[in-house]
Structure 1
Amino acid sequence: MDVKARAAAIDKCENVLREDYQYNLEHEIWPSINRLIEGLLGRTTELADVYVELHGALAEEPRALKSFFDVFTSAVYSWSPEKVKEAREDRDELTDLNVRIAKVSEVLSDLLSRRTEVKEMSSFSSDTYYHIMDVVEDASEGNGLFRSHLKGKLDKLTYQYDLKYWPSISKVVAKIGVNAANAVTVADDSAASAATEARRPGLADFLKAFEAELDMNRVQNIGFIPDDFSLTDSSMASLVNCGLELEADDLIDASFVKRYRQRERERKVGQAKDD
């Protein structure tokens, strides 16, 4: 490629970034994405070969080049090492919360059942909830929509059917516990799953998430990125280094990406055999 064509390819890619930057600026949205774009635009020399490769592979495909940069900036925003760490912590906390809810619900359900027994068998009572709809009504205090649209209808049902038709408060609480105990923590999308599936965190988490988001935006998934598109190892490394603004000691190279991709291929072959 001659110098003029190379410069045109670089300019084409950076224009996509500039247009996104301007759109975000005019609509006062995504300041974090704009800071990322500013960083990329300031590293033209490091990204020149990446832009030439992207232009050659995607420039002739309608909207593919823009889609690629949208996916990349979104991946950096969502799955930087700091965000992956937060995602792992969120996953672990959700799992722990369900375990704790299951335990507490079992205890609370037993206490509620015992309270009912004591009230019914003794000469004493206390001003506590008796009907599940009492709980629902008090919990809806301040909810105008509930009082305007549901309360009257539920009141009629409450008076029409006696207590034997309704679940007890203790059983409702018990079911909340059973539900929590049986809950399995899963990722909402393939990128979240890919970013957090490894036992140990590392930069490969970002590569997994980025490639998962690329896959979600391929033609076969009603996106714009060609199904057979893949960046070379060296271009991927340069893009990750610049996008994540990695320090000198953390920079990755083509061999890092190559090893990562080899491991992923072997992992997928192993999964296919297991299936």
Structure 2
Amino acid sequence: MDANTRAAVELCEDVLRGDYQYNAEHRILGSTNRLIESLLGRSHELADAYVELRDGLSADSEALKYFFEMYTTAVTSWSPQKIKKAREDKEELTELNVRIAKVSEMLSELLSRRTEVKERSSFTCDTYYHIVDVVEGASEENGLFSSYLKGKLEGLAYQYDLKYWAAISAVVAQIGFDAANAVTVARDSTAIAATEARRPGLADFLKAFEATLDKNRVENNGLIPDEFSLSDSSMASLVNCGIGLRVEDLVDASFVKRYRQRERDRTKRERPVSGD
């Protein structure tokens, strides 16, 4: 390792040690500190990436620190295991809405039928009649509701008779309608990038990490220069060391190159065609 490389490694590892010390002193981000410990033990594997980071980001003293915060956050938040769980959550949320829609439809029909039987027969049962009763029953243990809303809501219930209010069955039906029409979406661009592929793979982490970089570029009010980009080999090193791949699973520069080319091709296909 020549003097130039050693200087770059020292600069980058000083940033990592600073983050480690801060986390340790404040007793936070234990998983991040375990990652930093691993990175500090792989200096030679990351040396070329550190040179690129030093050359591309050290002009702004905060940019390099900013990069490592994003990198460690991406690794701890979007590891293959975390992405797998995110995909499962996405599928479960969609399935839950389907089930809620079906159950709500059934419950709404049962509630309507119960009301019909109570009104036409010689029998009744002590069940909720007014939607305000439902709200009050559900809010029994909410002290703020009791202190600030209960009286006002009861006043409205006395002031306006039942024809002004939605039936309990209609409220339940609306919950089902809402669930049936719900679309499961990611909260941010990183989550979209990590889970949008039809089949999971190591490229998912690359997508998540590069989406995080793009989200934090200068043009988006971040600190990462708009023109900054890591080489394919440096990105491969950061992936391998960050998510701790086994020897047989290691990615190389050609893997990153193919991924980036696919993304460029996809962007071209999705780009709107301007009119004449």
TM-score normalised to structure 2 length? 0.97
Report how far residue 5 of structure 1 moved: 2.7
2:262 maps to which residue? 263
Render the CA deviation track for 1:203-259: whole Å, top value 9, x for unaligned. Answer: 000000000111111111111000111100000001100001100111000000000
User: Does the 8 Å CA contact 1:62/1:224 hold for their aligned counterparts?
Assistant: no
Task: Tell me how far 1:8 sits from its aligned partner.
Answer: 1.5
Please give the alpha-carbon distance, in whole angstroms, between the structure 1 residues aligned to 2:6 and 2:251.
26
Deviation digits for residues 10-44 of structure 1, max 9, x if unmatched?
A: 11100100000000001110000000000000100
Question: What residue identity is the alignment partner of 1:127?
Answer: D
1:211 aligns with 2:176: no
Describe the shift of the 1:274–1:94 C-alpha distance in structure 2 as closer, same or farther (beyond 3 A). farther
- Secondary structure at the counterpart of residue 51 of structure 2: helix
- Structure 2: which amino acid aligns with 1:126? C
Give the aligned partner of residue 166 of structure 1.
165
Q: Give the alignment of 1:1-275 within 5 angstroms.
A: 3-273=2-272
SS in 1 for 2:75: helix
Q: 1:88 is aligned with what amino acid?
A: R
- Structure 1 segments (4+ residues) deviating >4 Å: none
Residues 186-211 of structure 1 show CA distances to partners (whole Å, capped at 9, x for unaligned) of 00000101000001100000000000
Helix, strand or coil for the counterpart of 1:63? helix
| Structure 1 unmatched runs, 5+ | none
Letter paired with 1:42 = G
- % identical aligned pairs: 69
Provide structure 2 residue ranges, at least 5 long, that are not aligned to the other structure. Answer: none
Q: Using structure 1 for the length normalisation, give the TM-score.
A: 0.98
Aligned-pair RMSD on alpha carbons?
1.1
Q: 1:125-146 deviations in whole A, cap 9, x for unaligned?
A: 0000000010100100111011
Using the TM superposition, give the Cα deviation of residue 111 of structure 1 relative to its aligned residue in structure 2, in angstroms: 0.5
| Alignment-mate amino acid for residue 25 of structure 1 | A
Letter paired with 1:151: K
AA of the residue aligned to 1:224? L
